[in-house]
Amino acid sequence: MIKIHSDVQDALNSNRPVVALESTIISHGLPRPRNHEAALEFEQILRDKGVVPATIAVINGVPNIGLDEAALDVIANQDIAKASVRDLPILAAKGLSGATTVAATAFLAAKAGIRVFATGGLGGVHRGANETFDESADLTIVSQVPVAVVSAGVKSVLDIAATLERLETLSVPVIGYKTNIFPSFWLEKSDFTLEYQADSAEEIARIMQARSSQGGIVVANPVPTEKAWEKQEHDRVLATAFAAAEAAGVRGKDVTPFLLQYIVEASGGKSLEVNLDLARNNVSVAADIATAWCRL
């Protein structure tokens, strides 16, 4: 059972643009009360561009496509599970609430008929995955559902090269939005180039149309140059974060949350501000893509 907010369902029925938003960034990615403010801001960016927001989460076991004020309060202010696709049946059976990851959000968006999804950074292959086999479910799910995921690349704490290789293996098209260089989350650029670039939302929509029966695409949208983190400082903070995780013996799915929290503190909040800026930019681009998609 899926509960679709009436505003979202009305927009889908009348071919008006809708953009899905994840809830993990609200519950686990940002500190309180900044997370609640950001959630409202992301939705308002979409509304200001004539697009209906569909923030997705599981509330008392039921996937909600679009949140009312009460549901948003649960996500922002209660300690709830971080839910990927594998967790959805468990939350449903137990009647529990959960914030959806990129994988779960894309999966549920597709079920509702939403074709565009904005996030911060895509999950990927973790460093050292050749020993740990630690790879995000985001990659597999995006290969399976017809959703365009707009992200600022993958978090730079991950193995970007291995992530791009896995996306190729899974036959997921990765298109740079007005760039041919894969972005690196807090940084505008990584060391990796892309084969394909799209210079307009309309071009992305046409790629979506051609791809729709096969699965999703990744739209790699870099953080604006003036908003990006300074690379030397970024590299220094990341190095200390990895050393701290190793010293603390952090393993598995706890690694990324540990690193991100450490980086926020070690950067004096700079990483958090860049995270918000890149997310805003992704939401804005996703709005344009959803609008172009409806025109098709």
Whether pLDDT at 288 is above 70: yes
Q: Is residue 235 part of a domain?
A: no
Number of domains in the chain: 1
Q: Which residues are annotated as a binding site?
A: 82, 102, 134, 136-138
Q: Is residue 248 part of a domain?
A: no
Q: Is residue 243 part of a domain?
A: no
Whether pLDDT at 219 is above 70: yes
Q: Is residue 280 part of a domain?
A: yes
Q: Which residues contact 142 (CB under 8 A, 6 or more apart)?
A: 102, 103, 106, 122, 149, 170, 172, 215, 216, 217, 218
Q: In this structure, what CATH number is given to the domain that contains residue 56?
A: 3.40.1790.10
Q: What is the arithmetic mean of pLDDT over 87-97?
A: 97
Q: Is residue 182 part of a domain?
A: yes
The closest of 15, 40, 12 to 26, measured between CA atoms, is 40
Q: Which residues are annotated as a binding site for Mn(2+)?
A: 134
Whether pLDDT at 141 is above 90: yes
Whether pLDDT at 132 is above 80: no
Instruction: Look at residue 129 in the predicted model and tell me its pLDDT.
Output: 73
Q: Which residues are annotated as a binding site for substrate?
A: 82, 102, 136-138
Q: Is residue 164 part of a domain?
A: yes
Cα separations in angstroms, 66 against 21, 50, 63, 109, 232: 9, 16, 9, 10, 40
Question: What does pTM read for this prediction?
Answer: 0.95
Q: Would you say 174 and 220 are in contact if contact means Cβ atoms under 8 Å apart? A: yes
Whether pLDDT at 155 is above 70: yes
Q: Is residue 234 part of a domain?
A: no
Q: Mind listing the pLDDT tens digit for each residue in 28-65?
A: 888 889 999 999 999 999 999 999 999 999 999 999 99
Catalytic (active-site) positions: 22, 155
Instruction: Look at residue 253 in the predicted model and tell me its pLDDT.
Output: 65
Q: Is residue 254 part of a domain?
A: no
Domain that holds residue 155: 3-228+272-295
Whether pLDDT at 130 is above 80: no
